[in-house]
Structure 1
Amino acid sequence: MTKFDYRKALEEIPHRPGVYQYWDAQGALIYIGKAKDLRNRVSSYFVKNSQLNGKTRVLVRRINRITFTIVDTEIDAWLLENSLIKKHQPRYNVMLKDDKTYPWIVIKNERFPRIFPTRKMIKDGSRYFGPYASVGMMHAIMDTIRELYPLRTCNLALTPENINKGKFKVCLEYQIGNCKGPCEGYQSEADYEKNLEDIRDILNGKIGVVIRRLKGQLDAAVAELNFEYAHQLKNKLDLLGRYQSKSTVVTSSITNVDVFSIASEQNYAFVNYLKVMNGVIIQTQTVEMKKRLDESDEELLNLAIPEIRSRFGSTSREIIVPFDIDIEASELRFTVPKLGEKKKLLELSQKNVFYFKKERLNQYEKLNPELRTERVLTQMQHDLRMNVLPRHIECFDNSNFQGKYPVSAIVVFRDAKPCKKDYRHFNVKTVEGPNDFATMEEAVHRRYRRLLDEGQSLPQLIVIDGGKGQLSAALKSLKLLGIDKQMTVIGIAKRLEEIYYPGDQYPLYLDKKSETLKIIQHLRDEAHRFGITFHRNQRSRKTFQTELENIPGIGKTSAEKLLKQFKSVKKIRAATPEQLRDILTEKQVQSVTTYFSEATSAD
C-alpha cells in the first residue's frame, strides 16, 4: 500500500474557509472538520512535535486521503460541517447522543384549525411550534390554551357547504363549554381567528402582547356594561398572569435569544440550550456528547450550537455563550455577558447543565462503580500535578501526650477507598520528648525500609499531616532511602487546608468542594482517628503498668500479665488472692494485696 503523501495533498488545499474530510485506506470517511483557513488547519495535524493527544495521533495515522469543500464564509463552513456529520456520522467525530423525536404543537392548516401536540411534522401548510424538549412543559402550555380558549377537537371537514347542509351535530365538548360549536355554525370563523391570534402569540412567547390585548377588551366590555364578558376576560387575565409568573425569568426586552452553556468530563460533555422569547423561556434542553478526540469545550460548543439550533429550528441572531466562539458570521452575534439580565440567563443555563451532568454521571457510576473510581483518580492526578494515577495512597499522622507515649500511624487508600488491612502504627523508638519532626522522620523511614526489604510496591502518593516542617522530615527519610523521586509527596496543613510540595514556597489551594480535597481530608482524618485510638490505648496501658510497677515485687512482665488477665487496675484491686495466684507467686500476691489495702485505707 502506497504511503499517504500529506505534503502533496496540502499543495492542493487553498487558504479559504471550508470543510475538510479525512478518509482511511478502506475508503471510509473517518473525520469531518471545518476551518477558517483550510490549508493552515489541515497542516496542523501533520506538524512534527505538535501537541496532539493520543487519540488524534491515531486518527492521523489512519488518514489515506483528504477531500475538502470551499464555502464563502466561516458560518457556511460551520453549518455544512454540522449537516455532513449528521449525514455520515464519522468514527472520530463527536456525536450528540440524544437523537429522539421531540413533540411539537401544531395549528392545522384547515377551517377552524385544530391545535394539538404531535411528533410528526407534515409539510401541508400547518404551523408548528417547538420542538419541546420537556413533554411536561408542552402539556402545561396546551392545558393553559384549552383553559383560555374554547377550541374544536374533532376532525370533521367544516366546509361552508357541510355546515350549511347541517351534516353535523354538536358533541359533548360543546355541552360542557370546551367548544363553541362551529360545526353547526354557532361560532363564526372570524371569532375563532381572534382566539388563534392570541394562541399564536402565546406559543411565540409574546404573553405580554396577549395580556395587553385582553386588558383593552376588558376596558371596552366594562364601558359597555357587559359585565359577564368582562368577568370572562378577567379570568383569562388571571390565568395568563399565573402562567407568565412561572415562565418569565428575565426582562421582556430580551427577545429571540439562544443561550448555550457546557460542562465536560474526561469522556463526556453536556450542553444546555435555552430559547428565550420576550423574556420567557419557551424551550430548554440538555444534550450529551461523547468525546472522540479529547476535544476542548470550545470545539464541542462549536459543534453543538448548529446541531441544536437546526433541531429546534432557531432563527435567533443573538447567541449567549460562556466564552468567545471563534466564528465570524455577520448574521449572528455571539455575546459573553459579564453582568445584567443576560448574565443571569447564562448562569441559569449553567446551573441546568451542571445539575444534568451530576445526575447523569451518578447514573453511570451506579451502573459501573469503576467509572467513578477512574474519574476521581484522574481528577486527583490532574489537581495534584502527578504523572500517574494515585491508585495507592498512604498518609502519616503523629500523636503524643506532653511529649510522652509518642506514636505514629499510617493509613492506606487503594483506588480512593480505605484499605484497613494495610493500616499500620509505630511505637516511636528513637525520639525523646515532644519532637514531631523526628517522629515523622522515624515513621517514614521504618515504613519504606520495610516495604523495600520485602519487595512490596511503593505508593504513588504520600500525604503528610502537617506543614512544611513535617513534610521536610518525611522527605529526609525518603532521600536517605533513595526513593524520593519515585512518588509524589505532599503535606496538608489544617488551618486553611493548604497543600505543600517539597521545595515549593507557595502552597496549593484546592477548591473546597473538590473531590480531590475531600479524599485528602478523608485520608488525614482517618490517619488521625487510627493514630489517636492507638495512642490512647498505649497511654492507658502504660499508665496502668506504671501504677502496678510501683508495687514492690511487681515488674513490667508481671504488670503486663495482670492487665492481660484482668483488663483494668480496678478489677485487679477487686481480685481475690486465689485469682491472683493463677498469675503471681505467693510473695507477689501478698505484696499486691497489701498495696491495695493500704491505698484503700488512705482513701
Structure 2
Amino acid sequence: MRPADLPPLPEAPGVYLWKAGDEVIYVGKAKRLKARVTSYFHAEGKPARIAQEASSLEFIVTRDEIEALLLEANLIKAHHPRYNVLLKDDKHYPFLKLTNEPFPILLVTRRVQDDGARYWGPFPDAGAVRRIKRLIDRVFPLRKNSGYPMKRRRFPCLNHAMGRCLAPCVGQADPAAYAAVVRQVEQVLDGRIDALIAQMEARMHQAARETNFELAAEIRDQIQALKAFFNADQQAYALELGDLDFLGFARAGGYAMVQLYQMRGGRILGRANRFVEGVNEAEDAEILEAFLREHYLEATPLPPVVLLPFHVEAEAPLAAFLSQRAGRKVALRVPQRGEKARLLEFAAKNARLGLEAELKRLERKGDHPALKALAEVLRLSHRPYRIEGFDISNLMGEAVVASIAVLEGGRPKKSEYRRMRIRNLAGRPNDYVAIAEAVYRRFTGSLADKLPVPDLLLIDGGLGQVRAAAQALERAGLSVPLVGLAKREETLVLPSGERVTLPLTHPALQLLIHLRDETHRNGLRYNRKLRTQKHLKSLFDGIPGIGPRRKQVLLEHFSTLEELRQTPLETLARLPGMNRKAAQAVLEALKQHAPAQTGKIAP
C-alpha cells in the first residue's frame, strides 16, 4: 500500500485497522490517527511490512484515548490479527462472585457481568479458587445450597445443622447477622486478614468473658483456620506497602513470560502468569501493554497502584481507564529504588524462572521453541527432533579429529556425543576430505547401528564442507537434510548453494549456533588430548628409566605437562610401576622445558 492510497485521516484519537483483502492483519490505536498511520511508511521492521502487505486501511474516530483503548481491545478479540500480540486462548479464567441480593451467596464463575455483584479475579489457578472457597464455606456461615437467586426451602439443609449456614432459605437468618458475615467474607477476599482476625479475637474474648465458651471455641477454630490458610498459601511481604499489583517480565527470542502479583494489605494474594509465543518482532513494551489491556479489562478489585517493570506507550489512557473502573485514582508507576523496586526485582526473577520452566517443558515434549522456526526456515516437512552437528578440529594437519554432538528436542544429549580420529590425510589439513570421511563412517560403521538416523545434519563450515557431507551421505545410501553454518557471518548454507541470513536473535539460528559450539568444544578437547599425549610421549622417550610400561602409566594419569609438573614427587613415585628414582628423573626432565611449553597446547 502507498501513502497516496490512504483515506483522509483526521488528527483525532481513534483506532485503525490495516487490512490485506478482507483479512484484518493489525489493529492499533492512536492519539492522532493521521500522524500514527503515516509513520508506518517511514518506519522499519514490522511496521514497514504491515504497510507493504496491507491493501487498505479503515479507521474509527473515538472521543478520547480511553475509548480507543477499549475499542482496540475488542477489535483484537474479534479479528485475531496476526501482527498483534495475542495473549489469550479460548478459555476464561475463574472468578469468585458474591451475588447482589439480600442474602448473597459465593459462587465460582467464568463470566463477569454488570449485575451489581462483587467479583474477585481472574485466578489462573483453578485449584486456588477451590481452596479459597472451601475455606470460606467452612469458616463463614453463608448459604450454599439454595441456588441463585435464593429459593425458599421447607427445611434447613445439613450445612445449617453443622453450623455452616444461617439458613436464610427457611427464614431463620437475621439479616443484620448475615450482613456481618458477608462483610467478613469481603475482608478475606480483599486481603484484609489482619484486621478481620483482630475483630474476631475481640469477639472471642468477649464471648469468653460472658462465659459463652461454645461461641468462643467456635470463633477460635475459625481464627486458626484462617491463619493456617494464609500462612500456607500467601507470603507476608511488608504491611506498609498496602494494596498494589506489580509485574515481572522476561523474554527469550520469540517467547515471553509476564507475571502479575496481587498484594493486598502487604500480603501477596495471588499471581497471574502468561506465557506468550510468536512475538519475535514485538517490542517488550508492546507485549506488556497487551497483557495489561487484556488483564485489566476484567480484573477486579483494582488496587490504587500498579508497578510496571518499564514504561508502555498507552500508560496514560490505561491509568485513566483503570481509574474510571475503580471509581478512584489508579496510578501506574515504574519505581527506580526502594522496597517497590525490590518487588519488581522479585517479580522479574520469578518471571525468568517461569519462562525457563515453560521452555524446558516444550523441550521435553520435543517442541523446543526453535524447532518449528528451523523447520520453516529450511522448508522441512516436519520439525527436526534429532539434530547432529559435525566439526573437524586440527592444528596444521596435526591430530585431526571429527566431533559429533547431538540435540534431541532442542536439548543436548551428551551420552551420544562421539569423536573419531581422521587418519587418511598424510599430515595435510583438508577439511573437505575429513568431513566426508566422518559423515561416511558415522552412517556405515559401528555408529550406524548404535545411533538413530537424525532428522537434520549441521556441518560446521561453508558450501565446500556441506557438499562434501552431501556426497558422503549419497555414498552411504542415505538422504538426510543438511545445513552448514559459516562461522564469520553466521549464515546458513544449503547444499544447493542457497544462503540464508537470519538475525542473531532468531531462535533457529541461536539453536544451530549452540549445537555448533557444542560440537566444536567436544572436538577441541579431543584434539588437545591427542596433541598433548604426543608431546608427553616425545618427552618421556628421552628420560632414563622410563620405558613403555611407565610411559603408559604416566599417559593414563596425566593429560597435560602442567598437570604433571605440579604433581609432588611422593605422589608421582607411588604410581603403579614407578619409584622415587624414576619420578625424580621425570621431574628433572620437566625442568628443562620452558613454562610456555609445559602448559596446555593451544588450538
Query: What TM-score, normalized by structure 1, do the two folds share?
Result: 0.63
Partner of 2:579: none
Structure 1 pair 397–201 and aligned structure 2 pair: CA distance change class (3 A): farther
Give runs of aligned pairs for residues 402-413 of structure 1, distance below 5 A.
Answer: 407=399, 409=401, 411=403, 413=405
Deviations 1:253-304 (A, max 9, x none): 3344232232233333332222222223334221233436711111111222
Whether the aligned pair in 1 keeps the contact of 2:419 and 2:523 (CA below 8 Å) is no
Partner of 2:478: none
Return the letter of the residue paired with 1:265: A
Q: Does 1:328 align with 2:321?
A: no
Q: d(CA) in 1 for partners of 2:225 and 2:252?
A: 43
Give the match's secondary structure for 2:236.
coil
Whether the aligned pair in 1 keeps the contact of 2:15 and 2:72 (CA below 8 Å) is yes
Q: d(CA) in 2 for partners of 1:453 and 1:247?
A: 61
Q: Does 1:6 align with 2:3?
A: yes
Q: d(CA) in 2 for partners of 1:357 and 1:422?
A: 34
Q: d(CA) in 2 for partners of 1:289 and 1:80?
A: 22
Partner of 2:15: 19
Q: d(CA) in 2 for partners of 1:524 and 1:460?
A: 11
Q: d(CA) in 1 for partners of 2:373 and 2:391?
A: 20
Partner of 1:353: 351
Structure 1 pair 293–13 and aligned structure 2 pair: CA distance change class (3 A): farther
Q: d(CA) in 1 for partners of 2:9 and 2:361?
A: 45
Q: d(CA) in 2 for partners of 1:339 and 1:397?
A: 53
Whether the aligned pair in 1 keeps the contact of 2:97 and 2:117 (CA below 8 Å) is yes
Partner of 1:488: 488
Shift of 1:546: 9.4
Shift of 1:85: 0.9
Deviates more, 1:33-42 or 1:120-129: 120-129
Q: d(CA) in 1 for partners of 2:104 and 2:515?
A: 61
Q: Does 1:228 align with 2:214?
A: yes
Return the letter of the residue paired with 1:337: P
Give the match's secondary structure for 1:311.
coil
Deviates more, 1:86-95 or 1:285-294: 285-294
Structure 1 pair 109–302 and aligned structure 2 pair: CA distance change class (3 A): closer
Residue of structure 2 aligned with 1:28, choices 23, 27, 31: 23
Give the match's secondary structure for 1:328.
helix
Deviations 1:303-335 (A, max 9, x none): 221111113245344221111223334635322
Partner of 1:446: 429
Partner of 1:273: 260
Partner of 2:592: none
Q: d(CA) in 1 for partners of 2:249 and 2:349?
A: 10
Deviations 1:508-553 (A, max 9, x none): xxxxxx9999868755652354236545876898899999xx99xx
Partner of 1:311: 298
Give the match's secondary structure for 2:122.
coil
Whether the aligned pair in 1 keeps the contact of 2:392 and 2:434 (CA below 8 Å) is no
Shift of 1:141: 1.1
Partner of 1:207: 193
Give runs of aligned pairs for residues 105-504 of structure 1, distance below 5 A.
Answer: 105-121=96-112, 124-155=115-146, 168-245=154-231, 246-291=233-278, 294-313=281-300, 315-326=302-313, 327-329=315-317, 331=320, 332-368=330-366, 371-372=369-370, 394=391, 396=393, 407=399, 409=401, 411=403, 413=405, 423-424=420-421, 446-448=429-431, 459-460=460-461, 487-488=487-488
Q: d(CA) in 1 for partners of 2:417 and 2:266?
A: 57
Return the letter of the residue paired with 1:271: V
Q: d(CA) in 2 for partners of 1:146 and 1:460?
A: 67
Structure 1 pair 121–423 and aligned structure 2 pair: CA distance change class (3 A): same
RMSD value, Cα:
4.7
Return the letter of the residue paired with 2:366: N
Give the match's secondary structure for 2:336.
coil
Query: What TM-score, normalized by structure 2, do the two folds share?
Result: 0.63
Structure 1 pair 188–449 and aligned structure 2 pair: CA distance change class (3 A): closer
Shift of 1:450: 5.2
Structure 1 pair 185–17 and aligned structure 2 pair: CA distance change class (3 A): closer
Partner of 1:496: none
Deviations 1:335-370 (A, max 9, x none): 223344323432343344333322322233333356
Give the length in aligned residue pairs: 463
Whether the aligned pair in 2 keeps the contact of 1:365 and 1:372 (CA below 8 Å) is no
Partner of 1:62: 53
Q: Does 1:91 align with 2:82?
A: yes
Q: d(CA) in 2 for partners of 1:72 and 1:305?
A: 22
Deviates more, 1:342-351 or 1:99-108: 342-351
Q: d(CA) in 2 for partners of 1:302 and 1:70?
A: 21
Deviations 1:140-177 (A, max 9, x none): 211221232233322179999x6xxxx62233333333
Whether the aligned pair in 2 keeps the contact of 1:97 and 1:290 (CA below 8 Å) is no
Partner of 2:565: none
Q: d(CA) in 2 for partners of 1:428 and 1:152?
A: 87
Structure 1 pair 159–81 and aligned structure 2 pair: CA distance change class (3 A): closer
Aligned-pair identity in percent equals 24
Structure 1 pair 358–413 and aligned structure 2 pair: CA distance change class (3 A): same
Give the match's secondary structure for 2:343.
helix
Whether the aligned pair in 1 keeps the contact of 2:399 and 2:421 (CA below 8 Å) is no
Give the match's secondary structure for 1:488.
coil
Whether the aligned pair in 2 keeps the contact of 1:150 and 1:178 (CA below 8 Å) is yes
Shift of 1:429: 9.2
Q: d(CA) in 2 for partners of 1:452 and 1:171?
A: 80
Return the letter of the residue paired with 1:446: P
Q: d(CA) in 2 for partners of 1:158 and 1:519?
A: 62
Rg larger for:
1
Give the match's secondary structure for 2:344.
helix
Q: d(CA) in 2 for partners of 1:542 and 1:194?
A: 92
The runs of 5 or more residues in structure 1 that have no matched partner are 379-389, 400-405, 431-444, 462-484, 491-513, 552-558, 570-603
